[in-house]
Chain A
Amino acid sequence: MVTNERKLYLQKRRKTKILVATTQILILIAFLGIWEWMANKEIIDSFITSQPSRIWQTLTNLGANDLIKHIQVTAYETIVGFLLGTTLGIVVAIILWWSNFLAKVADPYLVVLNSLPKVALGPIIIIWVGSGTQAIIVMAIAISLIVTILENLNGFLRTDENLIKMAKTFKATKLQILTKIILPANISTFISSLKVNIGLSLVGVISGEFLVSKAGLGYLIVYGGQVFKLDLVMTSVLILGILAGIMYGVVVLIEKFILNSKKFK
């Protein structure tokens, strides 16, 4: 039996949901509409601001600017940087958890490296690993690595002491405590660093592409800016936004998968 109040409550909830969604869409349409209209009426200079219809043209005319190739390059660099940065970060976090001594030694270095803007390392990275894809990947790693280490180490160290004590009463070895208590207890930390890192890797890749590259969305943005092709710049930014959204979505899917499969034993 559904009571009247319940019905009303559900109706109200649905109404709010629909209202929020329509407002969101309306804002977008209004924004694009006004932009397009002002550009057509020459109230704003579409040479500087571009306009939705021209962005759409650039977008549909993928071949002309090799857009697909550029998207692939950026996606590849981001994914490789993301995977390497996250894996390395977690491995280092495990090592530092294992050795209290190393953690203490590393602490001030980590703090300084964490607050250092990694983009400043750009020129050094280029000189060391050469310009090109590898420099951009290293940049992506540099940006996500330290945060991953700090966040995961922090999670490991904050694991409920009682769980560790309990394991010790059963004579657990350090490796057993790591694999059976620390790691499974920190799945949520792990997932949150995945979410943060996908964004950070993109930042690393784009700023890397700004500095050196012959391909990628970052390159396209810089190039478009230099030759005043604002259509290209805007389109690239739009694609970048979509790319970031898709990658985040994939991480959310991975999260769901992990959370479901954790009930396997």
Chain B
Amino acid sequence: MEKILEVKNINKTYQTPKGEIKAIENINFSIQNGEFVSIIGPSGCGKSTLLSIISGLEEKTSGEIFIQGKKVEGISSEIGYMLQKDCLLEWRTIWSNVMLGLELKGIKTQESKDYVENLLKKYHLYEFKDKYPQELSGGMRQRVALIRTLAIKPKILLLDEAFSALDYQTRIMVTNDIYEILRKENITALIVTHDISEAISMSDRVIVLTKRPGTIKNIYKIEFEEEEKNPITCRESPKFSEYFNTLWKELGVDGNK
């Protein structure tokens, strides 16, 4: 399989009036096309910073990022980004919200409109297209946010604690929803989360970071015997709790230091 994303020797140091803060140190990893990878680590370990750097929103101090073998600087159009909150604009209809990305990029064509319309239909949101965000449930809003991101046809999707604002049950449902959508659209996903079970249930590999300055402590491959794995069914597998315990310990040791 081809490598879609390569992260090489990423370092980030913040300058503050009080001094320098090393946020992340020497991060190296790569992701295959279509793979789902999670990043977990103790809070403040720089996992969100790492995601911001990969997306191009934040400057890196040193290092290189390659997408499909091409070095990228700044915000790449191959990358979609989902934040903690759905960030829908309350004053716009659902349709106008999902078109926002295309509008900002100035690539609103008939073709892209058709594409978005199809996505809305496929994921059962088309009938709500003239409604306003406050009329939708948390799970639906999250799906709208996803379609807004998918509208610009990214190859890689970065999710920064994307479901942490939702209540537990909605969150499990949404995780499942988004997982299925991304698999169907054949999109590679890099997920930052503080939730170990979310990391196990969604990904093929889990990257564990140390506490600040964040470096890669370990990378775990997550494999279930079940052919048709999804984030809900895999929670019932005995291997799930094994992985959970391993990762728990991995994070715990650091936390107790």
Interface residues of A (CB under 8 A from B): 160, 162-163, 165-172, 176, 180-181, 184-185, 187, 262-263, 265
Contacts and interface: CB of A to CB of B under 8 A. Distances in A.
Nearest to A181: B89
Interface of B: 55, 57, 75, 77, 79-81, 83-85, 87, 89, 91-93, 96, 100-101, 103-105, 132, 149, 152
Contact of B104 (A163, A176, A184, A262): A176
Contact of B75 (A169, A263, A265): A169
A265 B152 contact: no
Nearest to A167: B104
Given A162-B83, A180-B100, A171 B93 contact: no
Contacts of B87: 160, 162-163, 165-166
A172 B105 CA distance: 7
Given A168-B57, A171-B105, A262 B100 contact: no
Contact of A184 (B57, B84, B91): B91
B89 A168 contact: no
A88 B130 CA distance: 35
Nearest to B132: A263
Q: Which 8 A-B pairs have the closest CB atoms?
A: A166-B87, A169-B81, A170-B104, A170-B101, A265-B96, A172-B104, A184-B91, A262-B91
A187 B89 CA distance: 13
Nearest to A184: B91
A137 to B, nearest CB: 34
Nearest to A173: B104
Given A162-B83, A162-B87, A168 B92 contact: no
Contacts of B84: 162
Contact of B85 (A162, A172, A176, A187): A162
Contacts of A170: 100-101, 104-105, 152
- Residue among A166, A180, A184, A185 with most chain B CB within 10 A: A166
B89 A184 contact: yes
A160 B88 CA distance: 11
A51 B137 CA distance: 61
A160 B96 CA distance: 19
Given A169-B55, A171-B75, A163 B89 contact: yes
5 contacts: A169-B57, A169-B75, A169-B81, A171-B105, A180-B103
Contacts of B80: 169
Contacts of B104: 167, 170-172, 176, 180
A176 B100 CA distance: 11
B92 to A, nearest CB: 6
B167 to A, nearest CB: 19
Given A165-B87, A168-B75, A169-B149, 16 more contacts: A160-B87, A162-B85, A162-B87, A163-B87, A163-B89, A170-B100, A170-B104, A171-B75, A172-B104, A176-B104, A180-B89, A180-B103, A262-B91, A263-B91, A263-B93, A263-B132
